[in-house]
Structure 1
Amino acid sequence: MHNRHDQNLDHPALSYYDKIISYAELENNIEQYARFFFSRGVKQGERVALALPNCPEFIYSYLGIARAGGIVLPLNLLQTPQELLYILRDSGARFLVTSPAIGLQLKQLPGLPLTLFILDEETQKEIMTAPPVCFPEVKSDEVCTFLYTSGTTGQSKAVMLTHDNLLGNVRSLDEASDFGRDDNFLAVLPMFHSFGWTVCVLLPLYLGCTITILDNFRPKEMLQVLSEKGITVFCGVPSMFTVLLKLRQKASFPRLKFVISGGDSISEENMLAFEKKFNFPIVEGYGLSEASPVVCLNPLYGVRKIKSIGLPLPGVEVKVVDEEDRELPAGEIGELVVRGPNVMKGYYNREEETREVLRGGWLHTGDLAYRDQDGYFYIAGRKKELIITAGFNVYPREVEEALASHPSVAEAAVIGVPHPLKGEVVKAFVVPEEGRMPDKQELLQYLKGRLAIYKIPEEYVITSDLPRGMGGKVMKRFLK
């Protein structure tokens, strides 16, 4: 990632609580991390898992691994040990970079086949004194990152993104905006998430501006940072805006230009309330890991349409197609497909699924959409019954399988139901085994070690049977 302002060395790159890191220091740190990883065996194509909260070290590690020729595997820190073990094994990762605190938890994982780099004081010393190395040339079409995403099957798979994919998305975002080196991006979305990484880290570094890092979303602290640290751009997910709306305190944001929302659609009511209370526009966009991730964005200056995901980014093509992949006219609902420099190379070790999803040279998103006469796109629903709770994806099938494995449960069906704060929450319909009667507490306890917290149903309905169609498939629309 070459920052295009080389005269920018004293300019603040990162602001993290009371630390300010200039571009010169950032470059030095990335180089030292890269030397350290390389000397410890991170060679071309080696997968290195990264388990850190948002912090400068996340950025040094990520870009250091990439410079050494490795492939970065950012881990979602909300996942359970089982989920993490599956990802580490599936990816073939041999190294893991983490903090002392998270390292302690990870050491509990059974049969962890990894070399851990724990970023304690001792390791930091080694990193800062690592001698120069001659790195291999990293080609821009090589894979840079594995992002795990839940497939419709519930088994998650690695999206392979190349350096070109990520940079292509950053260049498109640059063209769609007029941000420059005086901007200050707030990075509060997790950096392990593609939206948080591409828009709040790579884009500002490419522009040579400042990133203000928060390690977690704490509403009051965030309002304070937005008003006192001169933030100009901030990206969030709808559940964050809902929480901010509920805060009683008034705050003014002297430099804030834009709030970009992604991860899920925001209700019209909340959008208008937010703009009225805080007095600046929310710009909605749409993306997915497979597209590095941003596909569409409402124009920053120009017509923003409420409920629309906006227009394709420059250089990205989007269309709506029918079952036979024929393009549909405006107003007709079909599957949203995408083509552009940001579209992934494929899924790691999943050739058949890759072929299916990238058939005809277009990424098939599985999202149902339509476009209007002006070329703006709208998401109409999901082909895959995906539930989005507080910006996180939950695939019903995964939750259904976990529930069905309980001895008292004969079968289960899971849907998303609207929730004022999280957008949707998971609701389960459970058919008990003959003569058994599981209760909510028992099911909650049972699921705790098996699923990430956000996947666990908040509502349970015990029922004698589930509505089925002709083919024996559960008809979820009747459950709704």
Structure 2
Amino acid sequence: MTLEHLPWHRPAAYDDRPCVRDERTELTYRTFAERVDAAAEHFAAQGVRRGSVVAVMLPNRVELLVAIMAAWRLGAAATPVNPTFTATEAEHQIRDSGAVLVIDGDSVADLPTTPTGTLPPAETRSGDLALLVYTSGSTGRPKGVMLDHGNVDAMIAGMGEAIGVGADDHCLLVLPLFHVNAICVSWLTPMSAGAQLSVLQRFHPVAFLQAIERLRPSYFSAVPTIYSHLVALSAEVIPDTSSVRFAICGAAPAPPELFAAVEERFGFPLVEGYGLSEGTCASTCNPVDGLRKPGTVGPALPGQLVAIMSPDGTLVPHGERGEVVVKGANVMRGYLNRPEATAETLGDGWLHTGDVGILDEDGYLRIVDRIKDMIIRGGENIYPKEIENVLHSSPDVLEAAVVGSPDPVYGEVVVAFVSARPGHAVDVDALIAHCRGELTKIKVPVALHVLDALPKNPVGKIDKPALRARLAGA
């Protein structure tokens, strides 16, 4: 384990190299390290110690990176919180994680920028908890994925080798930094190589292309929705993207036609990868230099084993479908305070992804279905149970079911079906307003249908396939 992404382990030769910038700030590796030490001193004065957790609830900006790294400087962990969360959503993560300090838009102004030199030497260990990344599950309550520094280091090493990141690279970060994808692929991987990073706070198609022309990045990572917006721009928009040697697409399935359209219009290869937070981001990726197979998410990253498992727990040969399972040093240590969920996901020594896939004779993975009911909207994972819990909290609702409806831009959007309690009537507008008060905007149903009764399967469970079919027919 090298941990070369940590400022206190970086080679001295990096000192004056450009490290990270956003719209307001530009730092070298030396000045970034100074900012980290200064923030760590501030955190220590606020009671942060080895083993503590710091919640970082900021939009994409340099201070977010500084805050995460400052927690690590003290041997603490960071839990990145979506800054668009409602108070209910944020409170759950902050309380569940046991965070002793929250860095948000109000407190970030208090972060000092010049260290006083009072910190003892850093003692970062492979087994120290680094990140608590929250992801929802079948219970509907987000769970804390525990990633230690060994997990993060393995992810950086495998991804860096797979995509060939070096000191001359420059990543343009556009994905939200509460996602492990942005943290590992766009930030820590180039940082471990002495490369540079430019951080965008939000995505807008024209502004994004202007940033490429101005900043001249060599790569970036995004989700299918972003690429859909880019190829949908008027033919009159002809940006200079010659600096980009490749781009990565992940977080949601994308049709091969989208990859072809991106490469034809912008002139750089687009490689698709696959993974999940429990695997510290990615487990497969089509190669930047080598055979790329449209319709697949590529072979296993270096250091990982990806296999297909049948329901009886045996591994199946190439060409047969089953659940995608993963092994490697990147696999999480477990879910925070969720031993049963941890055992269900990791109990046999494999990370069970809940996705159905097929490996071809070359080891390239094709995702063919999802075991779970997860909805992927523009690369954001949305779990229906969380939304159903909010719908069920209405005294007028008897039953509720949430499914994904196909959408040409976002891939899927959230649609809800409810039935009313006897003697009650469902006010659709009021119920949607209730959802807006409890849920992030992307989780609020775009449509809500009131049925006399929700369809059931033979064992009495709500028949979600029938609801999806109903939407497809409509």
TM-score for both structures, normalised by structure 1: 0.92
Could you tell me which runs of 5 or more consecutive residues in structure 2 were left unpaired when the two chains were aligned.
469-474
Name the structure 1 match of 2:393: 405
| Distance change >3 Å, CA 155–CA 18, structure 1 → 2 | closer
Determine if the alignment matches structure 1 residue 226 to structure 2 residue 215. no
Give per-residue Cα distances to partners, 1:256-278, cap 9 Å, x unaligned: 01110111011223222222222
Q: CA deviation at 1:81?
A: 0.9
Is the contact made by 1:183 and 1:231 (CA closer than 8 Å) also made in structure 2?
yes
Could you tell me which runs of 5 or more consecutive residues in structure 1 were left unpaired when the two chains were aligned.
101-117
Q: CA deviation at 1:18?
A: 5.8
Give per-residue Cα distances to partners, 1:218-237, cap 9 Å, x unaligned: 22211101122111101001
Name the structure 1 match of 2:472: none
Q: Distance in 2 between matches of 1:58 and 1:90?
A: 21
Q: Distance in 1 between matches of 2:324 and 2:375?
A: 18
Identity of aligned residues (%): 36
Q: Distance in 1 between matches of 2:181 and 2:243?
A: 22
Give per-residue Cα distances to partners, 1:191-233, cap 9 Å, x unaligned: 1110011001000100101101111112221110112211110
Is the contact made by 1:141 and 1:162 (CA closer than 8 Å) also made in structure 2?
yes
Q: Distance in 1 between matches of 2:296 and 2:312?
A: 25
**More moved, 428-437 vs 325-334:** 428-437
**More moved, 351-360 vs 1-10:** 1-10
Determine if the alignment matches structure 1 residue 178 to structure 2 residue 164. yes
Name the structure 2 match of 1:394: 382
Q: Distance in 1 between matches of 2:192 and 2:92?
A: 34
Give per-residue Cα distances to partners, 1:82-138, cap 9 Å, x unaligned: 1111111111111111222xxxxxxxxxxxxxxxxx122xx244x524442214623
| Alignment map for 1:79-478 (pairs within 5 Å) | 79-100=85-106, 118-120=107-109, 123-125=110-112, 128-135=114-121, 137-248=123-234, 249-478=237-466
Q: 2:132 is paired with a residue of what secondary structure?
A: strand
Q: Distance in 2 between matches of 1:406 and 1:258?
A: 48
Q: 2:419 is paired with a residue of what secondary structure?
A: strand
**More moved, 199-208 vs 466-475:** 466-475
**More moved, 342-351 vs 27-36:** 27-36
Alignment-mate amino acid for residue 2 of structure 1: E
Q: CA deviation at 1:439?
A: 4.3
Q: Distance in 2 between matches of 1:467 and 1:8?
A: 61
Q: 2:431 is paired with a residue of what secondary structure?
A: helix
Q: 1:202 is paired with a residue of what secondary structure?
A: helix
Name the structure 2 match of 1:8: 14
Is the contact made by 2:72 and 2:130 (CA closer than 8 Å) also made in structure 1?
yes
Give per-residue Cα distances to partners, 1:310-340, cap 9 Å, x unaligned: 1100010110101122001122221111110
Q: Distance in 2 between matches of 1:398 and 1:37?
A: 33
Q: 1:308 is paired with a residue of what secondary structure?
A: coil
Is the contact made by 1:285 and 1:309 (CA closer than 8 Å) also made in structure 2?
yes
Is the contact made by 1:415 and 1:426 (CA closer than 8 Å) also made in structure 2?
yes
Is the contact made by 2:42 and 2:111 (CA closer than 8 Å) also made in structure 1?
no
Give per-residue Cα distances to partners, 1:271-300, cap 9 Å, x unaligned: 222222222221100111111111110011
Q: Distance in 1 between matches of 2:179 and 2:38?
A: 25
Q: CA deviation at 1:49?
A: 0.4
Is the contact made by 2:274 and 2:284 (CA closer than 8 Å) also made in structure 1?
yes
Alignment-mate amino acid for residue 446 of structure 2: E
Q: Distance in 2 between matches of 1:12 and 1:156?
A: 37
| Distance change >3 Å, CA 94–CA 233, structure 1 → 2 | same
Q: 1:239 is paired with a residue of what secondary structure?
A: helix
| Distance change >3 Å, CA 43–CA 27, structure 1 → 2 | same
Q: 1:283 is paired with a residue of what secondary structure?
A: strand
Alignment-mate amino acid for residue 181 of structure 1: A
Q: 1:82 is paired with a residue of what secondary structure?
A: helix
Alignment-mate amino acid for residue 119 of structure 1: V
Q: Distance in 1 between matches of 2:163 and 2:378?
A: 27
Name the structure 2 match of 1:50: 56
Q: CA deviation at 1:5?
A: 4.3
Q: 2:27 is paired with a residue of what secondary structure?
A: strand
Q: CA deviation at 1:52?
A: 1.1
**More moved, 149-158 vs 399-408:** 399-408
Alignment-mate amino acid for residue 399 of structure 1: I
Q: 1:360 is paired with a residue of what secondary structure?
A: coil
Q: CA deviation at 1:435?
A: 4.7
Name the structure 1 match of 2:471: none
Alignment-mate amino acid for residue 132 of structure 1: T
**More moved, 339-348 vs 9-18:** 9-18
Q: Distance in 2 between matches of 1:179 and 1:173?
A: 8
- Displaced runs of 4 or more, over 4 A: none
Q: Distance in 2 between matches of 1:412 and 1:367?
A: 24
TM-score for both structures, normalised by structure 2: 0.94
| Distance change >3 Å, CA 177–CA 270, structure 1 → 2 | closer
Is the contact made by 1:223 and 1:251 (CA closer than 8 Å) also made in structure 2?
yes
